[in-house]
Every structure is written in C-alpha cells, then in structure tokens.
C-alpha cells in the first residue's frame, strides 16, 4: 500500500470515528434535551393551572359550584365581584371589646345587619369597636393584581400548543352522602410537547400509563375529591 493511500484511509477512518462519536453523543443528549424542555414547559403550564384553580375556588365561593369552562372563569374575572370580610378593630383592644359589648347589649333586638350598621356608626364617630363587615370587591381588583405577567386572555390555552385549549370539566358528585362540587383542568403532553421529538413524547405517555398516571398535567379531579390538588404536587 502506497503512502498516499494509507494516509487517505487514515483520514477516512478518523472521520468515521468522529462521526460515530458525534452520533453517540447526540443520541445521549437527545432525551436529556427533551426532558429539560418538557420541564421548562411544564413550569409555565403549572402556573397557568394554578391560576385556573385560584379562579375556580373564588368562583365556587360566590356560586356554590365550579365553572365548567375557562370562558366563564374569564367573565367572572372581568365582571364578577367577591365578598370580602373585613375586620374592624381588634379583639385584643379591651376598650373596643367593652364598647362593642355595650352596643350589642343595648341593641340586642336588632337584626345582625342592623347591629352591624350601629357598630359602623359608632366607628365612624370615632368610638373604638370590634366588628366584621362584608364588602363586594371586583374580582380583578382582588386576584392577580400584583402579578404583572398575568394575562386572562391566555388562560384558556395550553402553552406551546399552537392554540389548543385547556380541557376542563366540572361536576357535582355525591360523596359519602354529601353533594360535593368538583372540577378538573387538563393539559395533555401531546399538546404541551408540540414540536418536540414525537417518539420521545410517545415514550413519556407510555411511561405515565404504566404508572397509572394521566399523560399530562392536571389539577383537580371529577372522579374523586382531591382538594383541588395538581398531579405535580
């Protein structure tokens, strides 16, 4: 074998070795990159599901049930009001407590709302008293007002999905003889992982199925009460 041919073969073999090493490294890094991207996307999705849960709890406090759609949650956020209980005075203030008991004793025939009005009048006149009052405040002034990144218009969509909507249901089930409002909101991985390696996503779904877990992210459950927990918690 002449020297030129030997050098050429060595160059080819070196190139093949470099290619094989590169392919090996790439095959190892591929699932790592996939898992990292899924984790990053999941963080965004989890925050959105937490926001849905926050609105659902507020919606239930005012309506006695959960909302079946994100659109009705959006309407509740934009136009609804919440009753907020405000405490006036302190039970640790002995003077305020004594004044309150005196007013209650003098007006014991009054209805609760009328008694509260009496206490409010005394408070407005500068007298120390202790009582609670209920005030209706717009939902948008109560929830998420300190969250500059909150966008109500994005709430119904699964992040990174290209516009696919969050899957949501609500129901009222009888549990131990008691009517219990339930809801669940879901973001399947097939939507959340759109654009990522499809085979790795299929493998992820298969792993979840093998563990008898939902193939995605979910908050709440309409099959069994779980205190509105998320499946990431």
CB neighbours of residue 50 within 10 Å: 14
| Residue 229, pLDDT score | 96
Q: Is the CB of residue 191 less than 8 Å from the CB of residue 183? A: no
Q: Is the CB of residue 192 less than 8 Å from the CB of residue 42? A: yes
User: What integer is the mean pLDDT of 167-189?
Assistant: 94
Indicate whether 202 pLDDT > 70. yes
pTM of the model: 0.76
Q: Where are the alpha helices (DSSP H) in the chain?
A: 3-63, 70-79, 94-106, 112-124, 189-192, 198-210
The alpha carbon dihedral of 186, 190, 194, 197 has a sign of: positive
The percent of residues in the chain predicted with pLDDT above 70, rounded, is 88
Q: Which residue has the tokens 């060595």?
A: 10
Q: Is the CB of residue 72 less than 8 Å from the CB of residue 105? A: no
| Residue 19, pLDDT score | 65
Q: Which residue has the tokens 């990174």?
A: 160
């Amino acid at each position: 074998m002449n020297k030129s041919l030997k050098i050429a073969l060595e160059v080819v073999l070196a190139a093949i070795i470099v290619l094989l090493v590169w392919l090996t490294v790439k095959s190892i890094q591929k699932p790592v990159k996939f898992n990292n991207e899924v984790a990053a996307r999941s963080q965004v999705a989890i925050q959105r599901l937490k926001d849905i849960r926050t609105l659902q709890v507020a919606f239930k406090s005012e309506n006695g049930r959960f909302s079946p759609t994100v659109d009705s949650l959006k309407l509740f956020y934009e136009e609804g009001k919440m009753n907020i209980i405000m405490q006036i005075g302190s039970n640790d203030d002995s003077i305020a407590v004594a004044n309150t008991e005196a007013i209650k004793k003098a007006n014991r025939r009054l209805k609760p709302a009328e008694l509260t009005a009496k206490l409010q009048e005394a408070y407005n006149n500068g007298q120390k008293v202790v009582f609670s009052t209920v005030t209706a405040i717009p939902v948008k002034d109560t929830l998420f007002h300190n969250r500059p990144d909150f966008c109500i218009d994005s709430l119904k969509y699964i992040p990174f999905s290209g516009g696919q909507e969050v899957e949501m249901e609500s129901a009222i089930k009888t549990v131990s003889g008691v009517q219990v409002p339930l809801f669940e909101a879901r973001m399947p991985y097939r939507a959340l992982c759109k654009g990522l390696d499809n085979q790795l996503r299929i493998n992820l779904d298969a792993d979840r199925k093998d563990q008898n877990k939902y193939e995605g992210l979910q908050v709440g459950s309409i099959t069994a009460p779980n205190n509105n927990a998320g499946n990431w918690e």
